Amino acid sequence: MNIIASARERTVNTFADSIYDNAVVVKEFRTRMRGWKAFAVMGGYILLLGIVMGFALMSIVSFGSASSYSMTISNRRIGMELFAYLAITQVILLTLVLPSLTAGSITGELEKRTIEMLALTNLTAGKVVLGKQLSGFLYALVLLVCSIPLAGLCLMFGGISPSEIAITYCIIAAWAFMFTSAGVLWSSLFNKTAAATLCSYGTCIGYMLLTIPLGIFVIQSLFMHGYGSGTGLTFVFGAINPAFAPYISMLQADICGTNISIALVAIVMMILAGWLMMLLATGHVRYQKADHPLAIRLLVLTISALIAFLIAGNMSFLSTLGPVDVKIFLAVIAIFILVILGLGVTAFATGQIKNTRGASILYGLSPFKIFKSDLGGSAAFMFLWMLITYGAFGLGLFLGKRSGLAGLGAGFLTMYWHIGCAMLFTMIGFSAVGIFFSALAGSKRAAVGLTTLFLVIMLGGYGVMLIGYTGEPASPIMQLAPLWPIAPIVYLVNDRDSLPKLYCQGGDEWLATSAAYIIITLIALNWAGVLHSKGRGIKEED
């Protein structure tokens, strides 16, 4: 009992020190709420919502009688329609407000030259980042709370329950948490508020645009099958765009035969993403940089594995597709994993080389440095990241096989194995190239830029060449296909007659790609060691 009481007391004290007694939270929030501007924004926010709801009510009444409304997705009762307008308007307004709340949190201290005074306090980098993030997030919550009376008016018209309103608000709050965290991250990476604000707005607007098709997919399935019909066609990530939350907040997705709320999935994923961005931001706070490699890398592995497993396990929405279409879909997912993890190389496989033993062809492959901020374990970490993500995807396929993939047979398992091997060695090769550019460049930004350029060329170069291919005998340059990381996926899924004939033709493209990237790994690590032994490389993390 003493151990439990001690742990509880320590948790409460830590929570209080980080939030209630955090000087940054108190100072930032008091400053934000001082004067008339904050209240003017709140008043304008509610006024706009009220005007939109008024016009929405007039349009709903003018296009049909309330008595003729049924419970289908196309004709819900007035309360649901009004609340949908309210939620969508809030999402649009918050999209315009959220990036500005935290984008200048760190850069503002730099521009006002107060970052030095902040560094002299007892606040750690984590408390500074948390305080800056909470100051913006709490104000976003204030705006949401102000709109609750308007949501209550929607209950008077019927067609919506308090639980639907509560879940919708939770999704919007989690979304606000994620993007206030993104604003702090961008603010920690730049020296100017303008650049951080631009990137914050780009991230927020880009996220909203890219996730619109997911919500539309769910809405269309509801139009086709009826709201609450239990068709099992709901996509597990259909609720990550909060604009669609009023309609789909109560829906569930079939994950390996188990029904899981898509609202819960969206809330958890957005909170984890926001937490990850805050941890990344702590490593870039001037004069108080914190290093949390274990927490960051474990969180990255957790998020990646969850996404891969949930997508693969949510096989019910593929039940209407044939085996060929399912293979194409899975190939697209594999390419998506390859591209996302390839971009992860720029973060985890570039930086300051800390090897002091001179040239070493094994640098980057140490399993003992996987969870350390040392490039010595970067290639091994990328291998582990790829293995866990692709393995979680395979586990989801195996457990959800009865939901739509039962007819693929052993041939599909062979394709899955071959593609996975090629992708694993490709990740190691990309990491080795990142280490090489870190030894070649003088700053991390230059190394990231060179690594990104290499990724773009390798991932897209051969694909551009295939655009003009018309089926003539393959030229010698077309034999470079093994260097194309996507080649094993394309050759195993696509019609081989429409692709260049390779020397390794016959299903061995994955083996050729694996061998090519093993050679790239050895050459890149060897050259990186030689350059580092001559005093080249990044001297300080910037």
Give strand pairing partners of 254.
Answer: 259
Where residue 452 falls among pLDDT bands split at 50, 70, 90? very high
Query: Is there a contact between 208 and 98 (Cβ–Cβ < 8 Å)?
Result: no
Single out the residue of 350, 420, 349, 428 nearest to residue 390, CA to CA: 420
Average pLDDT over residues 28-48: 82
Q: Hey, what amino acid is at 364?
A: G
Please give the mean pLDDT across all residues of the chain: 80
Q: Hey, what amino acid is at 393?
A: F
Query: Is there a contact between 172 and 242 (Cβ–Cβ < 8 Å)?
Result: yes
Most confident of 61-70, 289-298, 424-433, 510-519: 424-433
Unique residue bearing structure tokens 């020296």? 191
Query: Is there a contact between 105 and 27 (Cβ–Cβ < 8 Å)?
Result: no
Most confident of 424-428, 441-445, 468-472: 424-428
Helices (H), 234-377: 245-248, 262-282, 293-313, 323-348
If one compares 173 and 249, the residue with the highest pLDDT of the two is 173
Give strand pairing partners of 258.
Answer: 255
Where residue 70 falls among pLDDT bands split at 50, 70, 90? very low
Distances in whole angstroms, Cα of residue 427 to Cα of each of 120, 138, 205, 304, 365 = 42, 40, 30, 15, 12
Q: Name every residue whose Cβ is closer than 8 Å to that of residue 294 and which is 6 or more positions away in sequence.
A: 371, 372
Query: Is there a contact between 86 and 57 (Cβ–Cβ < 8 Å)?
Result: no
Strands (E), 258-403: 258-261
| % of the chain surpassing 70 pLDDT | 80
Write down the pLDDT at residue 90: 93
DSSP class per residue in 503-518: TTTTT-HHHHHHHHHH
Q: Which token pair is 484? A: 């194309």
Coil/strand/helix, residue 441 = coil
Give strand pairing partners of 260.
Answer: 253
Q: What is the pLDDT of residues 100-145, one digit of tens each?
A: 888 888 888 888 888 778 777 777 888 888 888 988 898 899 999 9
Single out the residue of 245, 232, 304, 294 nearest to residue 272, CA to CA: 304
Q: What is the pLDDT of residues 243-294, one digit of tens each?
A: 888 888 888 888 887 888 899 999 999 999 999 999 999 888 877 777 788 8
Average pLDDT over residues 497-503: 64
DSSP class per residue in 268-279: HHHHHHHHHHHH
Q: Which token pair is 110? A: 């730099």
| % of the chain surpassing 90 pLDDT | 24
- Rg (the chain; Cα; Å): 26
Single out the residue of 478, 333, 481 nearest to residue 415, CA to CA: 333
